Amino acid sequence: MNYLMARVGAIAVLLLGLAACSDGSGVSGATSLGASGSSTGSSGVVSGSPIGGSSGGTTNGQSSCPTGVSACSGAALGVSVGTIQLSRNGLQTIGFSTTDLLPTNNNTAEAFGLLPANEGFAELRVLHDTDANISAVDLLLSQLKLFWDGRTERPRIIENFGLKRGRVQLGDQGMSTLVALAPQGDAFWDNNASTFTGTQDRYANNHYFERAASACDVSDAACVTAANNGLRLVAGNWRTGSLKPNQISATRLHEDGATQGPDQIPFAGFKGYRDLWNWNYRYAHVAGWVTKDTINIQEWGGGREHNKERRGTIAFGQLTDPAALPSSGSATYRGYARGWYSPDGQTEVYPIAADLEVTVDFGAKQATLRLLNVRIDEVLPANMEPNVKLTVGSTNVLPFGTPTNTAIGGIAHGDAAGYAGLRFFGPIDGGTPPELAGSFSIKGLSGITAIGGFIARRVVQ
């Protein structure tokens, strides 16, 4: 337990966290995709109504992003299969911490466990150059049951992981902007005890502390540009035909909901932290996010303050035009998966990574998803390895849905079951889409849970 608390403390100070896993968080340690040990799961067929609606896209299958945004996951479609939610340009899954769901939670400072959920919504917007190097991000989170007053949802989270002091705002178009904080004593900061909820939006999305940029080699112009926006960029080798994607990571301690603002906040991270990673090729992205937040804040009329943790993955990008998908033939895609698991759904999560192979039969309208070499993606002392681990591999078949640039359905992974979905990205090249990305979530009878995302490129057999 002492090691666990030290591990959690390291995450809380945010100099570690998921962004500090191995180089590529599993990418550099990937083994051959020909590894044995995968097990056969269910067919993945989902009962009930098919996915409804159109792709929400333009002529190339991509729904318009706001002006000035290079790629975005887009608004919710209001359509889900199990725990997989579809958005205009992608799909996602979300997990809730479980200790905060208990009737009594003696450890109010931390939030443990993982429960795949079909609640809440995350949206990601990115800005990148013509070579797909990301320089700015906006993570938008809503409806995650984060109640400052114990009753109503807190204002939408707008996180850009910026370095400067100020207030983050998001207009109808484009990436977020940073404006100056109102001075101390200004009427803007009125949080009169009789009008708790009237000013909650004014205490959300404020950056009260400056922070240093991530370190970069000064000769790496793309990394320096990203670092100036609080991001760490590591270029992949996919441009030369390999599989390693571009990778960004970001972390920020936050004070959302703290009524001591703007000049009396006791320390950075007073109300929690946020973490983000994003992998991308030319057209496809997969991202993972974590937010830890204080709820039931006394100054807002809440009761017993404690912390909640939410996390999720988002697959998004430039969608393949559904009308352009081939009606015959097949293609193989290889890449990587990343996410988190809890051995019993109640204890602290561990980061996981896996190798990935997807074989798509366009004539049969199905995708065979293989997770291989599933592993914990951090170095642990031998005596601290969890006793219960995820099965090292599985094979599942996902039927195509509607829109037809989607394959989605039920999966089995060892003695756990859940859902997975993927979408195709990029204009048709050589007769098939060049890239894909997706999300998955599972839960076992023993309580083991996991959520994650994956990304893959087409390979020549």
Per-residue pLDDT tens digits for 300-318 = 888 888 899 999 999 999 9
Residue 38 pLDDT: 35
Q: Taking the C-alpha atoms of 228, 234, 238 and 244 in order, what is their torsion angle to the nearest 10 degrees?
A: -140
Residue 177 pLDDT: 95
Spatial separation of the C-alpha atoms in residues 206 and 270, rounded to whole Å:
13
- Is the distance from CB of 29 to CB of 239 less than 8 angstroms? no
From the list 285, 402, 385, the residue with the least C-alpha distance to 51 is 402
* Cα radius of gyration rounded to whole Å, the chain: 21
Preceding peptide of 351 cis, ω within 30° = no
Residue 70 pLDDT: 96
What is the CB-side half-sphere exposure of residue 77 using CA atoms within 13 A? 23
Residue 26 pLDDT: 54
Spatial separation of the C-alpha atoms in residues 452 and 324, rounded to whole Å:
28
Q: Which residues of the chain have pLDDT under 70?
A: 1-63, 101-107, 192-198
**Can you read off the two tokens belonging to residue 88?**
């205009």
Residue 104 pLDDT: 62
Residue 34 pLDDT: 35
Residue 423 pLDDT: 98
- On the 0-12 / 13-18 / 19+ scale of CB atoms within 10 A, 359 is middle
Cα 328-334-340 angle, rounded to 5 deg: 125
Preceding peptide of 262 cis, ω within 30° = yes
From the list 126, 161, 176, 64, the residue with the least C-alpha distance to 285 is 126
Residue 16 pLDDT: 33
- Is the distance from CB of 421 to CB of 94 less than 8 angstroms? no
What are the Cα distances from residue 171, in Å, to 174, 177, 300, 317? Answer: 7, 8, 26, 21
Give the global pTM.
Answer: 0.89
Dihedral class, residue 53 (left if φ above 0, else alpha if ψ from -120 to 50, else beta): left
- Is the distance from CB of 182 to CB of 189 less than 8 angstroms? yes
